[in-house]
Amino acid sequence: MNQIVFIEGNQAVTDSLTVAEVFGKRHDSVMRDIEVQITKLNQAGEEEFSLHNFEESAYENERGRKYRKFNLTEDAFTLVVMAYVTPTAMKMKIRFINEFKRMKDYILKQNQPSYMIEDPVSRAKRWINEQEERQHLEQTLKIQEPLVNFAQSCMASEKSLLVRELAKLASKQGIVIGEKRLFQKLREWKMIFASKNEPYQEYIDRGYFEIAQGVREVNGSSKSWLTMRITPKGQAFIIDKLKKQQAS
User: Which among 90, 51, 101 has a CA at the least distance from the CA of 72?
Assistant: 51
Q: Summarize the confidence of residues 185-209 as an average pLDDT.
A: 91
Output the pLDDT for position 156: 37
Question: For residue 214, what is the enclosing H or E element?
Answer: strand 209-218
- Alpha carbon distance 45, 41 (integer Å): 6
The mean per-residue pLDDT over the stretch 151-168 comes to: 70
Q: What is the pLDDT of residue 1?
A: 54
Sequence-distant (≥ 6) Cβ neighbours of residue 66 within 8 angstroms: 58, 59, 60
User: What pLDDT does 240 receive?
Assistant: 83
> What pLDDT is recorded for position 74?
92
Q: Considering the chain, what is the average pLDDT of its residues?
A: 82
Buried b (16+ CB within 10 A) or exposed e, 50-81: beebbbeeeeeeeeeeeeebbbbbbebbebbb
Residue 175 gets which letter from DSSP? -
pTM for the structure as a whole? 0.45
Query: Considering only CA atoms, which of 243, 246, 242 is closest in space to residue 188?
Result: 242
Q: Report which secondary-structure segment, H or E, holds 150.
A: helix 120-154
> Which of the two residues, 71 and 83, has the higher pLDDT score?
71
- pLDDT score of 90: 84
